[in-house]
Amino acid sequence: MLKKYLLPRLVQYVTVMLIGITMVFIIPRLLPSDPVEHQLSRMTAQGQYLDPAAVEDLRASLEELYGLKGGILQQYITYWKRLLTGNLGPSFAQFPTPVTQLIRTSLPWTIGLLLTSLLLSWLIGTTLGVVAVTYPNSVFAKVAAVLAMGIRPIPYYIMALVLLILFAFVFPIFPMAGGYSMGARMGFNARFIFSLLRHAFLPVTSMVVLEVGGWFLQMRNVASNVVEEEYVSYAEAMGLSRLKIMLHYITRNAIAPQITGLALNLGFVFGGALITEIAFSYPGMGYLLYSAILAGDYNLIMGINIFSIVGVSTAMLVIDLIYPLLDPRVRYQ
């Protein structure tokens, strides 16, 4: 099992990081735009007067900062050296705050949003999928299928915008933006927690509503194949209760693709979380990314990219490592 299951996954993990991080290194160097010149022209456009010597000085230090000194190979080595020491350079818009520090403050928000919505949508979708298979001719099964199909393909931003218009503007139940109310003091008190939940409600709902459909449909499809297996008919013949068959015979056997799906969808859902945060001005990494775009903070955008590649692939590896514990078929291979 170790050789057949673990090794390929570890190789994949390292490859993903290598390809992803190298991609982030190469892309800006392939494109016909010089970040240093861009930065300099931004500064002069803002009306700062700089004498030529100072400009040269600034250019040299910017090149140093962006890791643009020397040949491409040398640049690549410096780039990795900096990454491995956890140094993503300073942010430009909020100089000299390090990019890592900015990411660290916004990370908990993103993880909270991502985990809550992923967990909720997975649980609800999977449960509903099993129920729909157990009662295939019920009104519920039909309505759920139509709803899942109709809502699932809508882009994250559009869904967020529609919820925002409906439940924050037309019916002002929830706040339009932010992670908690201005007045609430951060800490473990009822008022802060309430405001936290109230602000998180719409972003989480927006993501859950979009993702439930996918989990539901996948579970329904896999489980409806399991239902036709002989051991299910055997269990029925034994006179086991419907609930028992549903839980022990159908769910247990159909759950594996749901977990693999969790790992495969992570990158996509992460992107969705970033978009949702931007739409709700939720103070996570997505919002940080948005402020970086507005400020032209190229170093911060690079940092968020690297961080999301490392984060998503590590999370995937963790799911892959837990997987054999849940699926005995992999364990006894």
Partner 1 sequence: MLRVIGELLRHDRRFLFGFSVLVIYLLIAAASLFCPYNTKAWNVVPRDLPPSWKYPLGTNSMGQDIMWKAMVAVKNSLLLSAIAAVISRVIAIILGLLSGYKGGLFDRVVMTFNDSFIIIPMFPVLILIASILRTSLNITVLGIMIGLFGWAWDARLFRSQILSLKEREFTKTAILSGMKTYRVIVTEHLPYVIPLIMAATINNVIWVIGMEVTLSLLGLSNLSTPTIGTMIYWASQYQAIFREMWNWILTPIALCVVLILGLYMLSTSISEYLDPRTRLQMIKEE
CB of 152 to partner 1, least distance (A): 7
Report the residue from 268, 322, 328, 331 that binds partner 1 according to the rule CB under 8 A: 268
Q: Is 156 in the site for partner 1 (CB under 8 A)?
A: yes
Residue 308 contacts partner 1 per CB under 8 A? yes
Instruction: Tell which residue, 215, 217, 206, 199, has the closest CA to residue 156.
Output: 206
Query: Rounded to the nearest whole angstrom, what is the least distance from the CB of residue 11 to partner 1 in the complex?
Result: 8
Query: Which part of the chain contacts partner 1 (CB under 8 A), choosing from 58-66, 74-82, 153-161, 237-245?
Result: 153-161
Q: Examine residue 262 and tell whether it contacts partner 1 (CB under 8 A).
A: no
The reply to whether 153 sits near partner 1 by the rule CB under 8 A is: yes
Q: Please state, in angstroms and rounded to a whole number, the distance separating the CA atoms of residues 124 and 155.
A: 20
CA geometry: angle 24, 89, 56, nearest 5 deg = 100
Q: Which range touches partner 1 (CB under 8 A), out of 80-88, 118-126, 248-256, 305-313?
A: 305-313
- What is the distance between the alpha carbons of residues 299 and 208, in angstroms, rounded to a whole number? 32
Encode 137-160: b = buried (16+ Cβ within 10 Å), e = exposed: eeeebeebbeebeeebeeebeebb
Return the number of the residue (255 or 320) whose C-beta is nearest partner 1.
320
State which of residues 214, 267, 283, 284 lies at the interface with partner 1 (CB under 8 A): 267
Nearest of 216, 207, 214 to residue 158 by alpha carbon: 207
d(CA 319, CA 240): 33
Indicate whether 103 belongs to the interface with partner 1 (CB under 8 A). Answer: no
Among 204, 223, 255, 301, binds partner 1 (CB under 8 A): 301
CA distance to 46, 310, 314, per residue, from 266 (Å): 40, 12, 11
Residue 278 is a binding residue for partner 1 (CB under 8 A) = yes
Provide the token pair at 272: 């969705």
254 contacts 77 by C-beta, under 8 angstroms: no
128 binds partner 1 (CB under 8 A): no
Count of residues engaged in binding partner 1, rule: CB under 8 A: 53
Cα distances (Å, whole numbers) of residue 271 to 78, 149, 304, 312: 29, 21, 12, 10
Least Å from the CB of residue 130 to partner 1: 21
Q: By CB under 8 A, name the binding residues for partner 1.
A: 11-12, 15-16, 19-20, 23-24, 27-28, 31-33, 35, 38, 149-150, 152-158, 161-162, 164-165, 169, 264, 266-268, 270-271, 274-275, 278, 289-290, 293-294, 296, 298, 301-302, 304-305, 308-309, 312-313, 316
